[in-house]
Structure 1
């Protein structure tokens, strides 16, 4: 990367305005798409790093480390990556997800998260004979979404430790319309406040359309991993030491999202999240930095060595 704009084949452009992390990546090797699709660095970057670690360990059987388990999961992006994991069979003391952005980050806090589905149930009939009979669930859904917070408590209006309510999908027709939302906060109790707001908005929406009904479902997804990490302080301390041993700066960070580690930690397996060189995740402007992925690989190997040393 030469420090200027990166023009992708689609015509999309990576620049310092839409990708501020580029400032620190001059001279580094970047991996992009053609600008029409995601790169999938979240979390193919992590998979590549883990496979490189495994390759390194197999090439160097004398490298000291304790028992190691490598685990790949699916459905992490919908909060179900750990549903089928048998922790007793896994037999691990500590785990690390390699699912973070950039370089030198140790994520020690995540959102707490719930999902909600608000279903509006109306009555469909041919428009020609609809007078006095049709009950349009789409109108109820539109009223509901419009009544939710717009100037705050949304992803596009929040940052740092602010939580939000996010409407991410609407599907259906006149007779039935489903609105899917996610609730996010670093404070789990705030999810109850958000859920109450959603329920109140749904009930207010159907009150404006006689005959319209509503059903509300709420599903627990994951919880902030901060509390669980306190049960094994070495999980973070050794990750920090590994960076220091390699001469790389690092910082303890919060992540405005979740990882499989959020659920694993809640289940009793402390699991911080580590950087994997990914940037602009879930965007057609997504890219990965090969040099940062190399550092992540070296860090994981040093971390394994430190844990092996601790166990000996």
Structure 2
């Protein structure tokens, strides 16, 4: 596992933020650069069927080393990072043998504090990789990429470990909900797979939100302010009314566990036109439909109340709860649980309060639960990961490959 940290530190230097307003795939040129680097690295490792397509989906296969038939399994991670915080010029720092207290990030006043993030109290003695306080780290999901690559390299160097065909896939644009859009399940060749895209050690997830995106457009009228009386309609005021009409108790900061939410993610404001983007999330399909109905009702109500100006709404479905696609195949979860316990990792089965490529892929015929990477606080400048957690994730990948083979041994 000696190459794991070096790999991760190298990977996070690639600027790969996805861009939601760009509808090309991939949505950013940095993803192309990173995909090409991974393609070359897979070739250098000597894997079979290494490919990269014009949309930068990278695939490869480690061929079986056993004489008996074993189902082909897969491991998948995404190459992009979230647009929520800068991913340019990432400067990771290693904090060895953390003993508690605030961690200074870079040279400024920004700190990673256990007061704000109590999980740090459980990580005394661990080696952490943090940001410098100006960017996200990129552990979501370059940690997953590094862990898969390291596990595959380990299997190559240890041919005494039995395994069937291992399929590897790296996808673009997962963070903007498009990671599975052009994923070729048949070409990938696995009977089932695992996304390596979770958080703290032990996470094993096969339930996720049903997700939709709502675009609220507020229409006003722009007139020079010097002659605006009775004519100007400021769409930003309309947007403010709509925001205030939404239930505060259904926001992410007030929900947890199996509770859904309505999350205002961005706003583009102007006098004549303002655009609000919301994420709608619920673990139950009916709950998601109720949130859609609520937004429709609020738009209709506001249009009735406005003397001038108007509001329009467009809702697009993103993904569904993978539970119904994974539960009929309990051996997929059992193998993951057994592998974790064999690596002295206590499985923590919990719902994903978000979505992964695995959710979409499960509905495309590739059951695909999600496994931890060892990271925390994704999508922001306080993101960090433990080296020990990354090592455990890589070990679990190796063990899943081994236990799958042993399960099917005659």
TM (normalized to structure 2)? Answer: 0.73
Instruction: Please state whether the residue corresponding to 2:317 is helix, strand or coil.
Output: strand
SS in 1 for 2:221: coil
Is it true that 1:275 corresponds to 2:367 in the alignment?
no
State the partner residue of 1:173.
270
**How far apart are the structure 1 equivalents of 2:217 and 2:344?**
54
Indicate if the aligned counterparts of 1:140 and 1:206 stay in contact, CA closer than 8 A. Answer: no
Deviations 1:92-127, CA, capped at 9 Å, x for gaps: 111101111110111121111110101112222222
- 2:101 maps to what in 1? 4
Partner of 2:393: 296
SS of residue matched to 1:174? coil
For 1:213 and 1:164, the matched residues in 2 are separated by: 25
CA distance in structure 1 between the aligned counterparts of 2:402 and 2:313, rounded to whole angstroms: 49
Q: Which residue of 1 aligns with 2:259?
A: 162
Matched position secondary structure for 1:71: strand
- Counterpart for residue 98 of structure 1: 196
Distance 1:285 1:248 in 2: 25
After TM superposition, give the deviation of residue 264 of structure 1 in Å: 0.9
Q: Secondary structure at the match of 2:374?
A: strand
How far residue 62 of structure 1 moved from its aligned partner, in angstroms, is 4.2
SS in 2 for 1:109: coil
Q: What is the alpha-carbon distance in structure 2 between the residues aligned to residue 131 and residue 64 of structure 1? A: 78
Q: Which position in structure 2 is the counterpart of 1:14?
A: 112
Sort the Cα spacing of 1:93 and 1:132 in 2 relative to 1 into closer, same or farther, 3 A: same
Aligned to 1:112: 210
Among 223, 229, 253, the alignment partner of 2:326 is: 229
**What is the alpha-carbon distance in structure 2 between the residues aligned to residue 19 and residue 214 of structure 1?**
39
Distance 2:276 2:100 in 1: 43
Q: What secondary structure, in the 3-state scheme, does the structure 1 residue paired with 2:403 have?
A: helix
Give the gaps of 5 or more residues in structure 1.
Answer: none
- The question of whether the paired residues in 2 share the 8 Å contact of 1:66 and 1:311 is answered with no
**Structure 2 unaligned blocks of 5 or more:** 1-97
Q: Which aligned pairs between 1:117-132 and structure 2 lie closer than 5 A? A: 117-132=215-230
User: For 1:35, which of 133, 150, 161 is the aligned residue?
Assistant: 133
Q: Could you list the structure 1 runs, at least 4 aligned residues long, displaced by more than 6 angstroms after superposition.
A: none
> Residue 196 of structure 1: CA displacement?
1.3
Distance in 1 (CA, whole Å) between partners of 2:167 and 2:138 is 24
1:265 & 1:182 partners in 2: Cα distance? Answer: 21
Quote the Cα distance in structure 2 between the aligned partners of 1:89 and 1:177: 43
Task: Tell whether 2:156 aligns with 1:74.
Answer: no
Q: 1:136 aligns with which of 222, 234, 238?
A: 234
SS in 2 for 1:51: helix
Any conservation in 2 of the 1:135–1:209 contact (CA below 8 Å)?
no
Q: Which has the higher contact order (CA 8 A, sep 6+)?
A: 1
Contact 1:135 1:175 in 2 (8 A): yes
Q: Do the aligned partners of 2:152 and 2:398 also contact (CA within 8 Å) in 1?
A: no
TM-score normalized by the length of structure 1: 0.95
3-state secondary structure, aligned to 2:250: coil
Deviates further, 70-79 or 2-11: 2-11
Please list the CA deviations of residues 198-244 of structure 1 after superposition, one character each: whole Å capped at 9, or x if unmatched. 12212222333323122211111111111111121111000001012
Matched, 1:198 2:299: no
CA contact (8 A) 2:302 2:311 kept: no
With over 3 angstroms needed to count, the CA separation of the structure-2 counterparts of 1:128 and 1:4, relative to structure 1, is closer
What's the CA shift string for 1:144-200, capped at 9, x where partnerless?
Answer: 0111111x1101111111111111111131111111101011112111111111122
**What's the CA shift for 1:52?**
0.7
